[in-house]
Structure 1
Amino acid sequence: MKQGLVSQAGHAAVVADTAPPPATTCLVAHVLTPPGLRWIDGKPLAPRLLGADRDAALALPGVRAVVIRDNFAGVVAETGAMAANAARALQARWSAPPRADDAPVSRQAVVQRGNATEVLASAEARHAQHYRWPLAGTRADACCTAIADWRDGMVFVWLPSTRPAALREELAALLGIAPQQVALACWQSPDDTADPTLLAHHAAADAALLANAAGKPVMRRLRAADLGLADAALDVRVDTARAGEAIKAYAATLAGTAAPTVPLALWLTHTPSPVTDTCCAGNAAMPPYRIPHVDVGAVGDIAAFDAAPLAAARAQVFARESHLDEIATVSGTDPVALRLAHLDDARGVALVRQVTERAGWIPAAPRAAASASNVQRGRGFAYAHTIDHDAGQSWSAWVAEVEVDGTTGELAVTRVTVGHDSESLAPEQGAPATRSLEQAVADTALQLTSATPGFDTWQPSDAPPSQTLPAMPGSALPEVRLAGTLTGHDTLAAGPADTLPAAAAVANAIFDATGVRLRTPPFSAERIRLALAEAGDKRGNKRKKRGWIAAAAATAAGLCATLLPWRAPIAPVAPPEPGFYSAATLERGRLVAAAGDCAVCHTAPGGVKNAGGLPLETPFGTVYSTNITPDVQTGIGNWSFAAFERAMREGIHRDGRRLYPAFPYTAFAKVSDADMQALYAYLMSAEPVKSEVPQTQLAFPFNMRPLLAGWNLLFHRNEPFKPDPSRSAQWNRGAYLAEGLGHCSACHSPRNALGAEQGGRKYLTGGSAEGWEAPPLTSLSHAPVPWTEGALFTYLRGGYAPNHGAAAGPMAPVVEELAQLPEADVRAIAHYVASFGTPPLAPSVLAAQAAQIEQRSAQAALTLNGPGERLYQSACAVCHQSDQGIAQFGVKPSLALNTNLHSKLPDNVIQVLLQGMPAPPNSELGAMPAYADTLDNRQIAQLAQYLRARFAPDQPAWQELENTVARLRAAPAH
């Protein structure tokens, strides 16, 4: 993508090609986020910085600069890890977060005409609806990178931005220099529906401030969550009154989280912004139609429009044009005819007519019938007219044509016909590189078919940080037709106003194709699939009301099928030919298998992957895992997808036998259809392995498999995962992975007398697995320092968290599987699990707690001696005591902070001493040796008791340790 170095003086500009310094030569910035940061009406609500230990941070290796200015605190170091360590060393002290004003927020008028309130109150035909516009770049995992360099008395900054002039003035004010000393290398985001300044300007200000202090190139990578802007959105509520076919009144109210464009660094350093933001689409709130009574306003401060002007304009146009389409449907009017009946602007009327004629629009044409492939086709129209004080008037009209797969919800925008008219078509001199109108239309259409990752959306790999926003996945480029453009221009440059109608046109086309109305973009396959399912449920409910006898009969039949002790076998099939499945499907299946830990349970020690034979100890006896390779004789090579899915969701073998719930089909029932199909494809495409596994033989009555029909009736619900609409996309993704594929509760929840997981208040409150304690993951955790979301991510991603310990036992191979997943998925799991824990504490508080625990352990060590102490010094101290030996592995894990040593049960500590621990993945830790062959039961017990007394002196001593050691030593190892 073309970049330009912009160094402006007044309105003049000099553009020169330039490239940022390589990332490997840049220092890394880390800026402290004020705890409890919130945004109210586009302004931050954050505590004051009371103090920080600058000298402690500067004393650490690799730290090049520390900046503490008012409420801003940041460090620059040679690596990200060094910067993070320096940030912790600052020991920042913050005041209590200020409280928001509890007074009711008033509605501020934006544009008014006539008396819409009275007309709406007395209207006979009134239509109200709520629309939502997600603010681009505010997903919890969204990030942006900016690079700044200070040299020769100037600051050079590289970032994606469409507002270089505004940022230049702000950086000059922040650094106390002249605007001529600021040079920006900007490029336009490939997503024309987004405003990259929402994150980029914040990152750029941080980088510039820290580069000024370090005198070297500085890279600042910023996530939306760092600014408290995760999943921010604008809400628009529209209310319309009609008299016959005429729209008499229109009212709209904009509310929600306004993402600020003024960099946070300016707020924190008390630097007034010299910029008053404006937008070319600033008046999009006023409907361009002949409506006598109009009232458009914003809840709270008018900053909701000022903070994100382009997003506010897009939200308004999307809501208004979608709403008009809904009115046309209710009134039985053609959507284009409805608009033309209320449009007095001759230039706009001409544009609309040219666009619809070019698109072949047939008024009130019936919706196309679904084809044999279940593909449904539709078309939608939308229009926008804006006035900008610099660029003048601009008109834009869209006809979008789509195809929707009625089964999967996959959406393709196949053709877009766009009309574009403007009083100023030439791009401004010195503006960032522009795209042609055709390219902007195609890019925007593709963006609208993508969305924030759904609960079953997979990314094939982790994308490295980039200076440009990555292209979103989508269908092939749509055909773009232009109509109604002014003459005299060979290639039209796209402006922000040209794509204002895009979202509404696509949403209206989706409705025309499927009959479901989506009121929040983007329009992902998941959202369409759920909307189609919900519409089907409503139609099904109506049919059930009309035929309740048939419904009751169907329910009874289903219940009988569930209770039948024996189920019919499913006929074998021939294995698929090599190359039958696409590479994308197999890659998705590989990730699904890793998330589901398939190989962890279906691989015996020293055996072939997924060939089965692993003994699983249960209270009812030993269950052996099966061979799930595509071997025809001993595996699943002749299983159809129907047989595979039945086993996964219902616990029924292909031959009709019931499977023991040691196989977690109770969790796998929640897996989506797409993931289930991909997993089947992956397993069936693997190398077949002939491997006979031991037959599971349980004692009576547990060997009576037909009894499991009653167990399933009591404890199993064959229902797919349903996302919680009140939660974020990241939380739902984490819930899907943890509750379904990851089946975390299978180990971390207690079980009742019949072996079923206990939910409700006991969900994730602790359980057992293969002779190990699976500790609570809720606020009941034994951890001396509370788990945080960040610590959970570090542990799950690399197998070690400094304040808690390393993954051992059955958790170690789980971490190895999680290492294959994209980072965003592991963060989602950590985010979900953290929601069950204690409220997060400030890093300074956690550090103080850890220091206090270490000090308490050091005091206890002075009073202990005997054989346990000697065993510790000979077997443990060299790796776990910082004042002994050489740091061979980069870090010496603290036993005082180890969660297992603070547990009520000694099982995990004893298991680790007996079996040792493999080296965690992606960690600087080494492996721990096993002492089962070098220490007897009494010595293991003495060592465990010493460890408990020294590193958890506030906890009671463990009892009957020798008996516990003997029991665990006799249990089969895995």
Structure 2
Amino acid sequence: MPPSAADCLVAQALTPPGLRWIDGQPLAARLLGADRAAALALPGIRAALIRNNFAGVAADSAAHAASASRALQARWSAPPRADDAPVTRHALAQRGNANEVLASADARHRQHYQWPLAGTRGEAYCTAVADWRDGKLTVWLPSTRPGALRAELAALLDIAPQQVVLVCWQAPDDSADPTLLAPHAAADAALMAHATGLPVMRQLCAADVGLADVTIDVRVDTALAGTAVEAYAATLAGSAAPAVPLALWLTHTASPVADSIDAGHAGDAAMPPYRIPHIDIAAMGNAAAFNAAPLATARAQVFARESHLDELAAASGSDPITLRLAHLDNARGTALVRQVAERAGWTPTAPRSTATAGNVQRGRGFAYAHTVDHHAGQSWSAWVAEVEVDGTTGELAVTRVTVGHDSESLPRQQAAAPAARSLEQAVADAALQFTSATPAFDTWPSQAPPASQTLPVVAGSALPEIRLAGTLATHDTLAAGPTDTLPAAAAVANAIYDATGVRLRTPPFSAERIRLALDQAKPGNQRKKRGWIAAAAAAAAGVCATLLPWRAPIAPVAPPEAGFYSAATLERGRLVAAAGDCAVCHTAPDGVKNAGGLALETPFGTVYSTNITPDVQTGIGNWSFAAFERAMREGIHRDGRHLYPAFPYTAFAKISDGDMQALYGYLMSAEPVKSEVPQTQLAFPFSMRPLLAGWNLLFHRNERFTPDPSRSAQWNRGAYLAEGLGHCSACHSPRNALGGEQGGHQYLTGGSAEGWEAPALTALSHAPVPWTEAALFTYLRGGYAPHHGAAAGPMAPVVEELAQLPEADVRAIAHYVASFGTPPHAPTVLAAQAAQIEQRSAQAARTLGGPGERLYQSACAVCHQSDQGIAQFGVKPSLALNTNLHSKLPDNVIQVLLQGMPAPPNSELGAMPAYADTLDDQQIAQLAQYLRARFAPDKPAWQDLEKTVARLRAMPAH
């Protein structure tokens, strides 16, 4: 048994910023320096290890370790770029001519499924314990397939493999492949145990190794001839799983196993176990990288394939089991399917879904898997899951599971694996784990893993009824194997579909997701009717409330006492404020944070931001939560005045109640600042605030964010942040003559902000190279994307605020925004486009001259022209790829020339000087026109540039 948690030191290792995996290779920032002495000076710290790019600590408790990690004050280089990383298509399994058949098929079915690569619960942690004593390393970890880990740990510590002992157990929740996280936890623990000579426990989650919010996408395409499946094609895509522990990469330790992953195994798992004439299975990226997580990859493929076959059965009016049996020619698999169906009482002619009291629906679903393991031989598994779904609440219960398993390695006695679960427990856990709630769209990551998730325990929750069929029924003490539960997710999803008609294509199947999907699936006329009723009711309420020219004031309250809010609430509120860019608009140049006074230019005049510090006289110190929430959701001041919609309450209305309360607590716990700000004075009729009641009736809906059940958790998280807190559309969507945002097809198609153009974020973008999700993340996270340019103007402080958010949140925003763009191109295609654009610009330069060219050579070339020496001031951003130079408007180019970039948000970039005081309007216009002609020669020349320069020069700088 491993040492108890109380007897172990706690290890933490720093995660390099921007860490991600491309085809099994990590892209990580370099560690430039860390203050090891400062960490060791803290109480409770036993070791601080700095080795190349690895930085870790071991301490008496998790709190001490967290303090030491912060004390290291690690300095990192900018994360490497991945825009040019090639992603190629690798064939995993082929038979016949699937693509040709699919291209000419009359009946073709295509769907997209997702599998969470790090498990169905994003907050799940992996724990490993290491102990170094008497020249021997012992590591306890949750993995049944350690593979090359013993040799890798030996290389990491520069010891012989015979000095490493691995003690493996099967994790209670094996919905994720334990090999995904266990080697990383083991390596970190081993390093720190070796440094201290004491037992060390390391807990980490997927985000710690750059795998947060990662899914395996499976796109399935089939062709039917009657009820026969003629062709089947699937493509796997997603972040490549790491093949070796991250610590090896960070410490620059060469892996002692040259080819520790056999890409051929991925093909074994990919080939469908059915008699289908034409098959084409491929992986985007390195096939071996998917094989680094064999169980997760197998689960993803089985879930997609078995869910899709269930959909085909429904489309063709066939019984799901009958359809599979018609395509099975494996005798043991066929026998197992028949035995499971008989044990479950499955008859093709009898209706499977039934109704119970109230609005509860019952349904049954079937799924099957056949795997080939080069060590254990073949394995067959079949499931029938029975569920009850409350059609009102979406609550789901798995009531019974009939499972059959057959294997060339049977029997497997429980005594052979004392730490393993019983088969009944494994089946029950697998059935129940897919009903767990998905992380809510307003969930913020906790700063430390829960203390309860430490060493292995056997789950003891209430179990559904378990029926064993076939060979399993003759054994009483079988231990669970990882392949026994491969069909679980598909069986549960198919049962939900049978009960409700709702098809869920990514686990887990939470009550909220089911309820929202049920609501969307209701007959259109009923939903439309209710929609009209709801709209009428909302309009009536709006008339009664918002049309009042003056709302009732809300009485002032005493400020909360210090310490009233918990540390967790304040941390959540800090992240909410960063996501909402509060300080960006409520801080004047050279002013105190959130003390207000920033001049915001609008088409109707200048609006000054207010003081939102808890000062009683000039801020919001005497505002109750009710007053604060009303302002945020309705745009009504505490004293009853209507607020101008330059304050984006139209977006903030979507904030969840929990985030709203946390934001209030954070702002009210800040240091009060007494600061009188200029009063907003707009010209008539815009100065008539009561008119805003009518504006609200036309353009504002006080509604909280509602997630889309057909989308992934990552997409919904990104939508919540972008549509609500981030209020992206406030700048990036056009507005009508009354200042209302235009939605629908106009959403995110471009707008303006404070004298700058906010470019389109959709397929209408003028970017010469299409934006990708990876490029969006790089830009939002660091303020610079090589194929597009740097964040400047109002976007620069937004990037600074986003830097405070967890990386997973910025990735979610990028994922959401990318869904409005063009279909993604391969990085090699984008690189070729970029090279072509650069060549076109070089050709245009040969024909240009005059004062514009001389200004360019003196002011721009040293930093932007690649053939002019080394990059003395950071990277040399390509102007040929700059989005602003390809826009219809010259505004952003002129603004950058006038204001410069004195504090670029990315450390790779050098500061750009402002030319407002050194170049006159004519010179700025000449330079801008030259830049346009040279770097966007396919675009028409900008007109009236001197007038535009004069107009923008007269505006206040931000």
1:882 partnered with 2:866: yes
1:790 partnered with 2:774: yes
Amino acid at match of 2:594: N
The within-5 A match list for 1:894-913 is 894-913=878-897
Amino acid at match of 1:634: T
Which of the residues 554, 576, 580 maps onto 2:560? Answer: 576
Q: Which residue of 1 aligns with 2:937?
A: 953
Does the C-alpha gap of structure 1 residues 163 and 517 become closer, same or farther in structure 2, counting only changes over 3 Å? same
Which of the residues 411, 417, 442 maps onto 1:456? Answer: 442
Q: Could you tell me how far 1:901 is from its partner in structure 2?
A: 1.2
For residues 170-220 of structure 1, the C-alpha deviation after alignment (integer angstroms, 9 at most, x for no partner) is xxxxxxxxxx99x997956745241417979999xxxxxxxxxxxxxxxx9
**3-state DSSP of counterpart to 1:824:** helix
Distance in 1 between the 2:886 and 2:503 partners?
53
Distance in 2 between the 1:559 and 1:683 partners?
32
Q: Which residue of 2 aligns with 1:426?
A: 415
**3-state DSSP of counterpart to 1:768:** strand
Distance in 1 between the 2:757 and 2:844 partners?
26
Q: Could you tell me how far 1:820 is from its partner in structure 2?
A: 1.2
Q: Could you tell me how far 1:880 is from its partner in structure 2?
A: 0.9
Does the C-alpha gap of structure 1 residues 256 and 662 become closer, same or farther in structure 2, counting only changes over 3 Å? farther
Q: Could you tell me how far 1:101 is from its partner in structure 2?
A: 3.9
TM-score (norm 1): 0.60
Distance in 1 between the 2:825 and 2:491 partners?
46
Does the C-alpha gap of structure 1 residues 658 and 185 become closer, same or farther in structure 2, counting only changes over 3 Å? same
Q: Which residue of 1 aligns with 2:846?
A: 862
Does the C-alpha gap of structure 1 residues 305 and 624 become closer, same or farther in structure 2, counting only changes over 3 Å? farther
Q: Could you tell me how far 1:812 is from its partner in structure 2?
A: 0.2
8 Å Cα contact 1:159/1:187 also seen in 2? yes
For residues 717-750 of structure 1, the C-alpha deviation after alignment (integer angstroms, 9 at most, x for no partner) is 1222222223222222222211111111111111
8 Å Cα contact 2:714/2:812 also seen in 1? yes
Q: Which residue of 1 aligns with 2:216?
A: 229
Q: Which residue of 1 aligns with 2:175?
A: 194
Q: Could you tell me how far 1:913 is from its partner in structure 2?
A: 1.0
Does the C-alpha gap of structure 1 residues 192 and 966 become closer, same or farther in structure 2, counting only changes over 3 Å? same
8 Å Cα contact 2:802/2:810 also seen in 1? yes
8 Å Cα contact 2:220/2:233 also seen in 1? yes
Amino acid at match of 1:194: S
Does the C-alpha gap of structure 1 residues 22 and 439 become closer, same or farther in structure 2, counting only changes over 3 Å? farther
8 Å Cα contact 1:386/1:497 also seen in 2? no
Which of the residues 812, 815, 836 maps onto 2:796? Answer: 812
1:638 partnered with 2:622: yes
Give the total of aligned pairs: 739
Does the C-alpha gap of structure 1 residues 159 and 316 become closer, same or farther in structure 2, counting only changes over 3 Å? farther
Distance in 1 between the 2:114 and 2:767 partners?
41
Distance in 1 between the 2:270 and 2:837 partners?
51
Distance in 1 between the 2:89 and 2:320 partners?
50
Distance in 2 between the 1:517 and 1:801 partners?
38
Q: Which residue of 2 aligns with 1:68?
A: none
Distance in 2 between the 1:519 and 1:953 partners?
46
Amino acid at match of 1:230: D
Does the C-alpha gap of structure 1 residues 844 and 80 become closer, same or farther in structure 2, counting only changes over 3 Å? farther
For residues 124-158 of structure 1, the C-alpha deviation after alignment (integer angstroms, 9 at most, x for no partner) is xxxxxxxx99666478999999xxxxxxxxxxx99
Distance in 2 between the 1:633 and 1:750 partners?
37
The within-5 A match list for 1:840-859 is 840-859=824-843
8 Å Cα contact 1:159/1:200 also seen in 2? no
8 Å Cα contact 2:116/2:213 also seen in 1? no
Which of the residues 599, 603, 606 maps onto 2:587? Answer: 603
Which of the residues 702, 725, 733 maps onto 1:741? Answer: 725
The within-5 A match list for 1:70-81 is none
**RMSD of aligned Cα (Å):** 6.7
8 Å Cα contact 1:188/1:434 also seen in 2? yes
8 Å Cα contact 1:672/1:720 also seen in 2? yes
8 Å Cα contact 1:381/1:505 also seen in 2? no
8 Å Cα contact 2:778/2:784 also seen in 1? yes
**3-state DSSP of counterpart to 1:230:** strand
Q: Which residue of 2 aligns with 1:683?
A: 667
8 Å Cα contact 2:925/2:945 also seen in 1? yes
1:665 partnered with 2:649: yes
Distance in 1 between the 2:260 and 2:327 partners?
20
Distance in 1 between the 2:927 and 2:534 partners?
68
For residues 413-472 of structure 1, the C-alpha deviation after alignment (integer angstroms, 9 at most, x for no partner) is xxxxxxxxxx9321359xxx6479999899979966755443222224699xxxxx9998
Distance in 2 between the 1:318 and 1:577 partners?
62
Q: Which residue of 2 aligns with 1:341?
A: none
Q: Could you tell me how far 1:379 is from its partner in structure 2?
A: 9.6
Does the C-alpha gap of structure 1 residues 386 and 746 become closer, same or farther in structure 2, counting only changes over 3 Å? same
For residues 343-385 of structure 1, the C-alpha deviation after alignment (integer angstroms, 9 at most, x for no partner) is xxxxxxxxxxxxxxxxxxxxxxxx9xxxxxxx99999865655
For residues 911-943 of structure 1, the C-alpha deviation after alignment (integer angstroms, 9 at most, x for no partner) is 111111144334411111111122222222222
Distance in 1 between the 2:923 and 2:810 partners?
39
Distance in 2 between the 1:802 and 1:460 partners?
33
Which of the residues 745, 762, 768 maps onto 1:761? Answer: 745
Does the C-alpha gap of structure 1 residues 303 and 821 become closer, same or farther in structure 2, counting only changes over 3 Å? farther
Q: Could you tell me how far 1:842 is from its partner in structure 2?
A: 2.1
8 Å Cα contact 1:384/1:500 also seen in 2? no
Does the C-alpha gap of structure 1 residues 316 and 596 become closer, same or farther in structure 2, counting only changes over 3 Å? farther
Amino acid at match of 1:840: P
Q: Could you tell me how far 1:276 is from its partner in structure 2?
A: 11
Q: Which residue of 2 aligns with 1:37?
A: none
**3-state DSSP of counterpart to 2:600:** strand
Greater radius of gyration (CA)? 1
8 Å Cα contact 2:614/2:671 also seen in 1? yes
Distance in 2 between the 1:270 and 1:92 partners?
17
Q: Could you tell me how far 1:686 is from its partner in structure 2?
A: 1.6
Does the C-alpha gap of structure 1 residues 224 and 611 become closer, same or farther in structure 2, counting only changes over 3 Å? closer
Bigger drift between 961-970 and 604-613 goes to 961-970
The within-5 A match list for 1:135-534 is 137=118, 162=144, 190=171, 192-196=173-177, 229-230=216-217, 295=321, 298=324, 330=356, 382=400, 386-389=404-407, 424-428=413-417, 434=420, 451-460=437-446, 522=508, 527=513
Q: Which residue of 1 aligns with 2:956?
A: 972
Q: Which residue of 2 aligns with 1:588?
A: 572
Distance in 2 between the 1:750 and 1:693 partners?
29
Q: Could you tell me how far 1:959 is from its partner in structure 2?
A: 2.1
8 Å Cα contact 2:121/2:438 also seen in 1? no
**3-state DSSP of counterpart to 1:455:** coil
1:751 partnered with 2:738: no
Does the C-alpha gap of structure 1 residues 334 and 719 become closer, same or farther in structure 2, counting only changes over 3 Å? closer
